[in-house]
Chain A
Amino acid sequence: MHHASMDRHAGLESPIHRLDARAKLVAAFVYTAAAVSEPRTEFAGLLPYLVPPLAVILISGVPLRFVFLRVLLMSPFALVVSAANAVFETGHVTVTLGPWNAVVREGFVTGGAILLKYLISALALLALATTTRLYRLAGAMSSLGLPRLLAMQVTFVYRYLFVVVDELERRRRAVEVRTVGQPGVGQRARAATGALAGLFVRSLDRAEMVSAAMCVRGFDGMVPRAAGERLGLADVGFVMCAVIVVALLRGRGVWLAG
């Protein structure tokens, strides 16, 4: 079955794909933290933050449509919070955009800032996630301090997510092809409950077999840690670039005034 996995494009070849997962993770974290920590009424100053993650995505070759669809999918919460701000925050602020000044409702500015911060964070996260295999990301998080057990759980969940989704889809189809009349809500609910219960039992069975497969190959409770790869010049350079860009963006007031 076809799986729309987030790291579908993680196997592409590009300078971004070749970077170490740790470098990309640190850069994404630093960049996102910088954007999110801008003042709540800052709107114009957030616009330049959109450029670097977009540039990274373009260089990587990951289709923009793929990225923006996912930005849209993740946006509902941000949209709701932004709209709530626009409605409930009264008061007025002066917004400066280049040579233009305008006095606008504060809620519009803070709501707009929330949306921009969401967009920046989502693009930075997607630039990371679409160019890095999840297991490498989990390994990077583990080497940067995330407990190894947790990283192991993440990789196992991702590995078997597709197996569970396939199983769920097979059950859904089984129900669908045997639905020849107009079943009532109760009957549909019973079918769905039965399918889910069966899925749970099969998952338990599968987990036992996987555990057995691991044990017969010598597993003793911990996945052996792979020998750590060294960071290259490009990796260090990428992180330095992220830091420099963040410094320039945060310090724009200083160099614009100068």
Chain B
Amino acid sequence: MPAVEIESLRFAYHNGREAIAGVTCRVGRGERVAFVGPNGAGKSTLFLLLVGVLRGEGAIRVEGNTLSRSTLRQIRRSVGLVFQHPDDQLFMPTIAEDVGFGPAQTGLSRDELDARVAGALEAVGLGGLGSREPHHLSGGEKRAASLATVLSMEPGILALDEPTTGLDPRSRRRAIDLLERREQTLLVATHDLEMVLEVCSRAVLLDEGRIVADGRARDVLADGALMEAHGLEVPLSIRLGARRSEPPHPPA
């Protein structure tokens, strides 16, 4: 059974702009898929549709459950969505309360809740910082805390919207290492194409709400004409790799 199945999904905002114009896509269990595309392509909108924050036309199935009012809670337990802006994700007074917010809705005992929170914070390298307040954290720490808030719910699928945006190189490296250690099905919406090459095996290129390419990450991102046609460019590591492999120029 696939982890995620999307069929003929369409969605338009109140102003009439069609953000998703017929998307069909399947993600297998344990797969790591990057959703790339120019600004306004529909990446974030797709993730919001996946967890029922927005309602569109078409079918969405998560771990076999078709998205509907009655399956909303189940699906939201299955998919851990990390928002683009940590300040949207971190709304409780302390990190520990934020990380415990989701599991607390599921009726865990105090001890079980504390263990989940501690485990999630350790997993993202914030062990012992549960009593800190979000506005006292650095950008990298906020991103890590945002990830912890969904890890504590033990979802089978992680959906991350721009997980490395705004991070300094060290924090970015930490975030990438964190993602590489995850065993869940991974969906990542991102402009960080170098990160895609490190973390994801598959890339889905979206533009104007449609899927224009879907395949092996390296193959999709190395297609210069395709990337340029959709507002992107081939990652530097691929371009450098291509130059290195070019035969040397003959002497004049």
Q: Is the CB of A206 within 8 A of B88?
A: yes
From known contacts A155-B93, A218-B76, A218-B77, infer whether A210 and B88 are also in contact, taking CB-CB under 8 Å: yes
Q: Is the CB of B93 within 8 A of A217?
A: no
Distance between Cα atoms of A214 and B101 in the complex (Å): 8
Distance between Cα atoms of A112 and B135 in the complex (Å): 41
Distance between Cα atoms of A156 and B73 in the complex (Å): 24
A135 sits at the interface (CB 8 A): yes
A1 to chain B, nearest CB (A): 9
Give chain A interface residues in 57-82, CB to chain B under 8 Å: none
Residues of A contacting B110 in the complex (Cβ-Cβ under 8 angstroms):
227
Distance between Cα atoms of A14 and B54 in the complex (Å): 48
Residues of A contacting B91 in the complex (Cβ-Cβ under 8 angstroms):
156, 159-160, 210, 213-214
What count of chain A residues pass the 8 Å CB interface test?
29
Residues of A contacting B79 in the complex (Cβ-Cβ under 8 angstroms):
216
A238 sits at the interface (CB 8 A): no
B73 to chain A, nearest CB (A): 7
> Contact string, A210-238, partner B, CB cutoff 8 A, digits 1/0?
10111111111001101100000000000
Q: Is the CB of B83 within 8 A of A213?
A: yes
A128 sits at the interface (CB 8 A): no
Q: Is the CB of A217 within 8 A of B76?
A: yes
A163 sits at the interface (CB 8 A): yes
Q: Is the CB of A135 within 8 A of B153?
A: no
Give chain B interface residues in 72-128, CB to chain A under 8 Å: 73, 76-77, 79, 81, 83, 85, 87-89, 91-94, 97, 101-102, 104-106, 110
Q: Interface residues of A: mostly helix, strand, loop or mixed?
A: helix
From known contacts A218-B102, A220-B105, infer whether A213 and B89 are also in contact, taking CB-CB under 8 Å: yes
Residues of B contacting A224 in the complex (Cβ-Cβ under 8 angstroms):
104-105
A24 to chain B, nearest CB (A): 17
Distance between Cα atoms of A1 and B92 in the complex (Å): 20
A149 to chain B, nearest CB (A): 15
B191 to chain A, nearest CB (A): 19
Q: Is the CB of B93 within 8 A of A216?
A: no
Q: Is the CB of B135 within 8 A of A163?
A: yes
Residues of B contacting A210 in the complex (Cβ-Cβ under 8 angstroms):
88, 91
Residues of B contacting A159 in the complex (Cβ-Cβ under 8 angstroms):
91-93, 133-135
> Contact string, A183-217, partner B, CB cutoff 8 A, digits 1/0?
00000000000000000000000100110111111
Contact size range, B: 20 to 34
Distance between Cα atoms of A220 and B102 in the complex (Å): 11
Closest to B159 in A: A216
Residues of B contacting A209 in the complex (Cβ-Cβ under 8 angstroms):
83, 85, 88
With most chain A CB atoms within 10 A of its CB, the pick from B83, B105, B134 is: B105
Q: Is the CB of A216 within 8 A of B87?
A: no
Distance between Cα atoms of A155 and B87 in the complex (Å): 15
A29 sits at the interface (CB 8 A): no
B236 sits at the interface (CB 8 A): no
B149 sits at the interface (CB 8 A): yes
B212 sits at the interface (CB 8 A): no
Closest to A156 in B: B91
Residues of A contacting B81 in the complex (Cβ-Cβ under 8 angstroms):
216
Residues of B contacting A135 in the complex (Cβ-Cβ under 8 angstroms):
92-94, 97
Closest to A136 in B: B93
B51 sits at the interface (CB 8 A): yes
> Contact string, B130-148, partner A, CB cutoff 8 A, digits 1/0?
0101110000000000000
B148 to chain A, nearest CB (A): 12
Residues of B contacting A5 in the complex (Cβ-Cβ under 8 angstroms):
135
B226 sits at the interface (CB 8 A): no
B81 to chain A, nearest CB (A): 5
A16 to chain B, nearest CB (A): 17
Distance between Cα atoms of A156 and B51 in the complex (Å): 24
B238 sits at the interface (CB 8 A): no
> Considering the complex of A and B, which 6 residue pairs feature the smallest CB-CB distances, nearest first?
A135-B93, A218-B105, A217-B102, A209-B88, A162-B135, A224-B104
Q: Provide 13 A-B residue pairs closer than 8 Å at the C-beta atoms, listed in order of the A residue.
A: A5-B135, A159-B93, A159-B134, A160-B87, A163-B135, A206-B85, A209-B83, A210-B91, A213-B83, A213-B89, A216-B53, A218-B102, A218-B153
